Structure 1
Amino acid sequence: MSQDLREVFKKEREDTNPGLKPGHKKRFQERLEKQFPQQRHSWILPLKIAASIIIALGIGSYFLTKNSVEMTPPSRTVNQNTTVEGNNTISLGDLTPGLKKMEQYYVTNINYELSKIEISSENKTMVDGFMQQLGILNAEYVKLNTELNSVGPNDKTITALIKNLQLRLQLLQDLKKKLNYLKTVPHETLKTSSM
């Protein structure tokens, strides 16, 4: 009875679990392959998935941009080449390359500021007032351009044209500041009243 229990269990396992016959593993693999053949990895399924994702994104972006285009207010741009009747008209930019760069700078910034204006029911009257002032300045610019064509280039007209562009840009920047102020004021009054 002085046998080691480990040895007893080891012998018992060997007796109950006889070894596998030679070639058993190979035969088992062959049977598995017959019943469950390996499927070739096809690139068609991933391509179908990628194509459906691309189509879904395309359709989604189409509808998003369609809705955003419908929601944007009509664009307002400043015409750089405001001309007077006649074939031989000149503008501020036609005089010198420096003046052309300056005119392009102001017109580009004016158009940019116009494109960033968000019109809502709360600020519509303010925006309309500023747009009327901008229209007056634009009409004055046309008159100055007419004077430039009829009288010819002189310092007074050139300075007035540049000042007009500066005033229009400043007017739009002031409008932007007031609109930003109006956006923050209701939020601040709500925060202070809730405390």
Structure 2
Amino acid sequence: MPQDIKELLKMETKQVADKMPEGHEARFLEKLETELPRNQKLSWSWMRVAASIVVILGLGFGTYKYFEKPVAIQVVDIETETSSEEITSKTLGDISPDLKKVEDYYLANINLELSKVSMTPENKELINSYISQLDALNKEYKRISVELTNSGPNELTVNALITNLKFRLNLMYRLKEQLQTLQTTDSITKRTNI
């Protein structure tokens, strides 16, 4: 049953040209209003405004943090009571990997020995005196590190840093020996008193 295409197109245009029944649009709008009232549109509009404000605040905060200049930290030297900008100093590890190994070895051993120390009322004064000596050596190490940063690596400053680390480790060993001696004398004293 072949049909002519021209006739099919004529019939199609005829069907399209037909109008909708009268009142169809009004009935459709009425049904639409009952299903989706206009109040609901208003209730969602405040959510859109709130979401927009949150997005704008978030973008503003992110932009502020991205473009924020780092705050300069002031360091006050207690001994000279002068203020200076924080100085980033080089360490032995910045010079070479081998020196970093040496520095890490000493610092790990110093921290290990320091962690083994237990403070009691009997040894508190002794430990505090050694800690103050360690602090002095640590300040000196930082000063030498600043010198290393300013003048560049040379044999004298590298040796001074390594010697400082050795002194600190030896200081910890002496503290350990002193504590053992103190503990031994305390135990002997307790035995004789019994």
Structure 2: distance between partners of 1:143 and 1:186: 40
Aligned residue runs from structure 1 range 168-183, under 5 A:
168-183=168-183
Counterpart CA distance in 2 for 1:145 and 1:130 is 22
Q: Give the residue type in structure 1 aligned to 2:107.
A: V
Distance 1:186 1:121 in 2: 12
CA distance in 1, matches of 2:110, 2:186: 28
Q: 2:86 corresponds to which residue?
A: 85
Report how far residue 170 of structure 1 moved: 0.5
Distance apart, 1:85 and its partner CA: 3.0
CA distance in structure 2 between the partners assigned to 1:114 and 1:190 by the alignment: 27
Matches of 1:86 and 1:182 in 2, distance apart?
A: 41
Q: Is residue 119 of structure 2 the alignment partner of residue 126 of structure 1?
A: no
Aligned to 1:165: 165
TM-score using structure 1 length:
0.53
Question: Aligned equivalents of 1:128 and 1:105: distance in 2?
Answer: 24
- The alignment covers a number of residue pairs equal to 110
What are structure 2's unaligned runs of at least 5 residues?
Answer: 1-84
RMSD: 1.7
1:94: how far off? 1.2
Query: Can you give the 5+ residue segments of structure 1 that lack an aligned partner in the other structure?
Result: 1-83
Percent identity of equivalent pairs: 44
Secondary structure of the residue that 1:107 maps to in structure 2?
helix
Code of the aligned partner of 1:85: E
- CA drift at 1:91: 1.1
Query: Runs of at least 4 residues of structure 1 off by over 2 A?
Result: 84-87, 189-194
**Pairing 1:102-141 to 2, within 5 Å after superposition:** 102-141=102-141
Q: Which residue of 2 aligns with 1:96?
A: 96
- Separation (CA, whole Å) in 2 of partners of 1:108 and 1:90: 19
Give me the TM-score of the superposition, normalised by structure 2. Answer: 0.53
Contact in 1 for aligned 2:93/2:99 (Cα 8 Å): yes
